[in-house]
Structure formats: C-alpha cells, structure tokens
Amino acid sequence: MPTTHATAHAKAGMIARLNHPDYDRWASQIKRTGGCRQPIHLRGKVDHYDPATGQLLHRYTTRTEPDGILRVPCKTRRASRCPACAETYRADTYHLIRAGLVGGKGVPETVTSHPTLFVTLTAPSFGAAHTRREHGGKVQPCHARRNATTCPHDRVMSCTTRHGRDDPRLGEPLCPDCYDYTGSVLFNALAPLLWKRFADSVRRHLAKLGGLLLKELRHHLTLSFAKVAEYQRRGVVHFHAVIRLDGPGGPDAPPPGWATPDSLTRAIRHAAKAVSATAPPYDDQPERVLRWGDQLDIRPITLSGDLTEQAVAGYIAKYATKAAECVGTLDRRIHSLETLDAYDLREHARRLIATCIRLGALPDLAELRLADWAHMLGFRGHFSTRSRHYSSTLGDIRADREQHARDNEITTGRLPFFDDDTVLVISEWEYAGKGHSIGDQLLAAAITGGCR
C-alpha cells in the first residue's frame, strides 16, 4: 500500500496510542465494546452514597479513563453501520425468537404444544422485474415469454437470462418507465397499517371460529407474534412472522381446544385476502387501495423436519439487522433530490427514492412522511417487532448482559460491591462524541478481530 497522507496519519495515531501509558486500559475499553466500529463516548461519574449518613462510599469518574471518556457500544442493529453491534442484536433476536418457539427466557417449555406457524406475507407486483427462480435445483429463465409484447417504450417484455445469484440486474424492472414506482413506495408506506389490519382480522376470524365476540376473545386466547420486515431486491418489503396461539394472558396457558393449527391457518388465509389500506387521492390521481400480494406462505414450525425452530429463529434474526441497503440504497436519511447524485446509486433505487421525495412534498400525502423515509423506500415501520406476550424482550436480554458486565467489574475491583438496596447511586453522564480516530480504528480492529 502506498504511503498516503491518510495512512501516515493512521500510523502516527497508532504509535501514539500504543506508547501511551494508559494503553492497557484503552484496550480493555475497546474489548468491552466488543469491536464496535463507532462507539459512543461518555463523560461522567457514578457516585455511591450511604443513604443514612450521606457519606460518599465510592466514586467512579471517566476523568481517569483514556482521553477522559468511557467508550460504550453504539448498539445499532444495522450491519452496514457496525457489524459487531449488529451481531449482538442478531444473536439477541435469535434467542428471543427461539424462546417463543421452544421455551426459555421466562417462556414455559409447554409453548411447543401451542399452534405455531411461520407466515410470509408478500407485496403485490408493481411491474415485471428481473428475478431468479430455481426449480428442482435448476435456475429458470427470468421472464421467458413466447410471444413477448413490446411496451409503449419499445422494450421487449421478456428476458431469457438465467440470472446468477449476484446479478446486479436482479430486482430491476424490465422497463423502468412502465414500472409502478408510486405503487411500490405507497405499499411500503402502508405496509405497517396493512400488518395491523391483518392481525386484527386474524383475531376477528378466530373469534368467529370459536363462536365468540371479538371483545370476548382475549379471555380465551392471545394471538402472539414476532415479525420481521425483509426488503426484496425490487425494493418492497415482505413480512416474515412467527404466529402463535396462546391462552389468555400469553404462553403460560394453552389456547382453547378449538384453536388448532388448522383454524389459525384458515384465519390467516382469510385475513391476508380481506385486508386493505388506502392511500389518499392527490393531484389528479384517485385514491389507491393496496393489498398483500397473492403469494402467501404458511408453514408449520416443527422441532425436526423441514422448518425447524432454529431455522426460523436464524432467519428472522438475520433480517432484523438489515435495512434497505440490500437494494443498493442508503442506510441514512436523504434530504433532497440534489444530494442524491452524490451517492453511487443504481437507477432503480434512485427512482424509488426520487418517488418518495416527490410524493413526500405533496400535502395530500403528508401523513405518510415519504420524504423522511425515502432512504427506506417509503417504509417507516419497525424492522423487527414482537407482540407483548411473544417472549422476553430485547431490553431484558440486554439487562441480563449488563448485570453480567457489572458483576465482572465488581470481581475485578473496578466497582465496589454494594447491595443495590442499601446504597444511593447517583450517575451523571454526558454525550462526548462518537467513533474512532483512523489510527484507533485500525488498532481496535486488530484487538477485536474486526475486519474494518
């Protein structure tokens, strides 16, 4: 590698850090962040007082830490921003999803006997796009049409290529000028509402199957779920969900006898077809009704067999750390069309983002906040959500880990051992920045085995 100004600067920074007397403490801070690429810097102190006498028993201050700060992990779920923290998020999500399938983390093992399905709800088509399909292990031609039509823009609506897995054309429309970009971003914007209506409709249908009024249902049965949004290459979201039937109050009690996998399947099929969400009219355009696509996949989750609980938990956890970057777009907010040119975007992603920005400026569509969520191609929902009774929460799992870290600080003598109930703890923290200098970044990667 040629010695550029940047690498010389990095080397000087690394040498200074390595030679500094507090290097060991710095390295241990870095190890504790687990290789976070963009740690948060905190300045502050924690005082332990005796509540009876007001005596200061112990003080921790960042003043004695390297650079006078404590580095803590950024905790992002986005793998594109920080692979290390996203990996933690992925692992936590995995355990959370798995607990909802086989028990653990406060969920009883009897949950395995509750009807549980893995459901994929898809977006409808917004125009022909290059795809890769396999049939019997063989890749099929993309859009082979014997008597292919020519679109009004003179493009033949056919593609006989057997696309490779990484073909950059995958997800791109056969004709970008025919493609319904408006429909695509409106669908993403309304997908969270569509999901909510879907879940409500499943409950209503189940109540009907059980001969109950909807308001009586919760005294008999709880619909528990964990879902994750996945971007398709064409830039629309799909939802994958674990949907489970519990007794009243959650997984501790079994659902009533009539609530079988079969009745859950029927309720899901019904709901996926029945629900819609409407985008308001704007300019000379009429209102637009959006629904789920025809492809609905419902599969039982079993402990052995095709779709195991590990596979499902792994699948959901993997998508929980992704954003729309898989379609070659950005993982940060975009503020105007002009700034778009600064990014190296594929045409399809650029058009989706531009459509969000254009529609986002219309007062009639203001409530969809499309401009704010242009970088997510219109989707402003949560990537990974769980209903209240699904299993333990990410917060609980994090608290467990933090308690573990605290125990470690106590055994290594950095924190005093006080019974939490008998001391008064007063903490003061302030945000003091984020990230690493270029030299620190290289050193941190070497210490924690990070690749960048």
Part in contact with Zn ion (CB under 5 A); list of ranges 140-148, 230-238, 265-273, 345-353: 140-148
Q: Smallest distance from the beta carbon of 300 to Zn ion, in angstroms?
A: 34
Q: Select 159 or 330, whichever has its Cβ closest to Zn ion.
A: 159
Rounded CA separation 131/141 (Å): 9
Return the number of the residue (139 or 151) whose C-beta is nearest Zn ion: 151
User: What is the total count of residues that contact Zn ion (CB under 5 A)?
Assistant: 14
Q: Provide CB contacts within 8 A for 101, sequence distance 6+.
A: 111, 112, 116, 242, 301, 309, 312, 313
Is 36 one of the binding residues for Zn ion (CB under 5 A)? yes
Among 139, 178, 337, 362, binds Zn ion (CB under 5 A): 178
For 104, the token pair is 């653990």
Secondary structure class of 426 (helix, strand, coil): strand
Tell me the closest approach of the beta carbon of residue 35 to Zn ion, in angstroms.
8
Tally Cβ neighbours within 10 Å of residue 428.
Answer: 10
Binding mask 3-32 for Zn ion (x = CB under 5 A): ------------------------------
Asked if 139 touches Zn ion (CB under 5 A), the answer is: no
Residue from the set 14, 99, 101, 142 that interacts with Zn ion by CB under 5 A: 142
Binder of Zn ion out of 57, 72, 175, 337 (CB under 5 A): 175
Shortest gap between Cβ of 342 and Zn ion (angstroms)? 25
3-state secondary structure of 434: strand
Would you tell me how many other CB atoms lie within 10 Å of the CB of residue 34?
15
CA 207/CA 448 separation, integer angstroms: 53
Tell me how far, at minimum, the Cβ of 131 lies from Zn ion, in Å: 7
Stretch that binds Zn ion, among 110-118, 151-159, 214-222, 422-430 (CB under 5 A): 151-159
User: In sequence order, which ranges of 286-336 are alpha helices (DSSP H)?
Assistant: 309-320
User: Does residue 121 sit in helix, strand or coil?
Assistant: strand
First-residue to last-residue Cα distance in the chain: 16
Q: Decide whether 155 or 220 has the Cβ nearer to Zn ion.
A: 155
| Residue 243: CB minimum distance to Zn ion, A | 32
DSSP string, 193-211: HHHHHHHHHHHHHHHHHTT
Interface with Zn ion, residue 130, by CB under 5 A: yes
At its nearest, how many Å lie between Zn ion and the CB of residue 311? 27
> What distance in Å separates the CA atoms of residue 413 and residue 426, rounded to the nearest whole number?
19
Nearer to Zn ion, 90 or 114 (CB): 90
Task: Specify the residue for token string 């502050």.
Answer: 44
Query: Candidates 108-116, 168-176, 182-190, 272-280 — which segment interacts with Zn ion by CB under 5 A?
Result: 168-176
Q: Tell me which residue of 239, 244, 348, 347 sits closest to 296, measured CA to CA.
A: 239
Q: Within 346-405, which residues bind Zn ion (CB under 5 A)?
A: none
Task: Rank residues 86 and 223 by Cβ distance to Zn ion and give the closer one.
Answer: 86
Burial category of 423 from C-beta neighbours within 10 Å (exposed 0-12, middle 13-18, buried 19 and up):
middle
Interface positions, 55-74, toward Zn ion (CB under 5 A)? 73-74
In sequence order, which residues have a C-beta less than 8 Å from that of residue 121 and are 6 or more positions away? 195, 198, 238, 239, 241, 272, 292, 293, 296
Stretch that binds Zn ion, among 77-85, 247-255, 309-317, 350-358 (CB under 5 A): 77-85
Q: Please identify, among the stretches 129-137, 308-316, 338-346, 367-375, the one whose residues bind Zn ion according to the rule CB under 5 A.
A: 129-137
Residue in this structure with the two tokens 């679109």, named with its chain if needed: 151
C-alpha to C-alpha distance for 384 and 192, rounded to whole angstroms:
11
41 binds Zn ion (CB under 5 A): no
In degrees and rounded to multiples of 5, residue 145 shows phi and psi of -125, 125
Q: Quick one: which segment of 150-158, 197-205, 239-247, 302-310 binds Zn ion (CB under 5 A)? A: 150-158
Residue 40 lies near Zn ion (rule: CB under 5 A): no
> Considering the complex, what minimum distance in angstroms separates the CB of residue 85 from Zn ion?
3
Per DSSP, the three-state class of 301 is: coil
Q: Which of 159, 324, 370, 442 binds Zn ion (CB under 5 A)?
A: 159
Phi and psi dihedrals of 22, rounded to 5?
Answer: -95, 25
Binder of Zn ion out of 85, 228, 272, 443 (CB under 5 A) = 85
Quick one: which of 46, 139, 151, 432 contacts Zn ion (CB under 5 A)?
151
Which DSSP letter does residue 286 get?
A: P
Map the footprint of Zn ion across residues 430-449, applying CB under 5 A. Answer: none
Task: Report which residue's Cβ sits closest to Zn ion.
Answer: 142
153 binding Zn ion? (CB under 5 A): yes
What is the closest distance, in whole angstroms, from the C-beta atom of residue 151 to Zn ion in the complex? 3
Buried b (16+ CB within 10 A) or exposed e, 162-172: ebeeeeebbbb
Q: Whose CA is closest to 246, among 355, 373, 438, 391?
A: 391
- What's the one-letter identity of residue 78? R
Instruction: Give the residue with the Cβ less far from Zn ion, 145 or 335.
Output: 145
Interface residues with Zn ion (CB under 5 A) are 36, 73-74, 82, 85, 130, 142, 151, 153, 159, 161, 175, 177-178
